[in-house]
Amino acid sequence: MADRSDAASPPVFASEFSDRFRDLVLWRRDVRRFRTDALPEGAVERLIELACRAPSVGNCQPWRFVFVETAERRDVVKSAFKRANERALAGYEGERHALYASLKLEGLGCAPVQLAVFADEATDRGAGLGRQTMPETLHYSVVGAVHTLWLAARAQGIGVGWVSILDPQEVTRALDVPEAWKLVAYLCLGWPVEEHLDPELERAGWERRTEAAGLVVRR
């Protein structure tokens, strides 16, 4: 067995840090309104490095990050959003229809960075451990990486918006990635125009947040 006597000591997190971490979680927002200013060189790459420390089933690290940089590909994604958004709008009636039409649901036109995050379903890393009974944990692992990136970005004042009103197959074709890569998240990153503690959808009257006590069951 390897000698672990030289292993680094685990950190001790003071209560002040715990309070600040709570603030970080509470102030994490899904940003839709971005300034067009560029982010510092290497900033997103450093966020990805932290995201790659997220937990993954069988330690398979299935996440794949694609920077969407060309105007042509960004236009395809924006068009995909418009079509999907029109279909979604058609599914509502009355006040909900009017409210949905008023919502700002993406930052594709102004965010300086667009990042598509995929799950590599063909990865042989981890030798399938943990996926035999729950194969969906492969995608859950990618979601964990996205959330890690999200918190890390917020800690630096960088905003992140997750655009889910998209046809994933359209986006996958536009980005010319391997067939086994399945889109999990399409992210916009940049400096936010405004900061709010409450979620935008709650502020707009779309849905109110449920307290944790109403979401817990004991058996």
CA 82 to chain centroid, in Å, comes to 20
Residues 6+ apart with CB under 8 A from 24: 151, 154, 155
pTM of structure: 0.93
Strand 63-67 with 113-120, pairing:
antiparallel
Query: Given strand 63-67, what is the order of strands in its sheet?
Result: 63-67, 113-120, 181-190, 159-162
Domain-located, residue 7: no
Domain-located, residue 142: yes
Domain-located, residue 179: yes
pLDDT of residue 6: 53
HSE at residue 207, side-chain half, CA atoms within 13 A, is 4
Domain-located, residue 8: no
For residue 196, what are its two tokens?
């709010």
User: Which CATH number fits the domain that encloses residue 182?
Assistant: 3.40.109.10
Domains identified in the chain, total number: 1
Domain-located, residue 214: no
pLDDT of residue 3: 46
pLDDT of residue 7: 66
Which string of b and e fits 144-159 if b means at least 16 CB within 10 Å? Answer: bbbbbbbbbbbbeebb
Domain-located, residue 218: no
Domain-located, residue 213: no
pLDDT, one tens digit for every residue, the chain (219 residues): 444 455 689 999 999 999 999 999 999 999 999 999 999 999 999 999 999 999 999 999 999 999 999 999 999 999 999 999 999 999 999 999 999 999 999 999 999 999 999 999 999 999 999 999 999 999 999 999 999 999 999 999 999 999 999 999 999 999 999 999 999 999 999 999 999 999 999 999 999 999 999 999 999
Task: Determine contact, residues 59/125, Cβ cutoff 8 Å.
Answer: yes
Domain hosting 163: range is 32-196
Domain-located, residue 121: yes
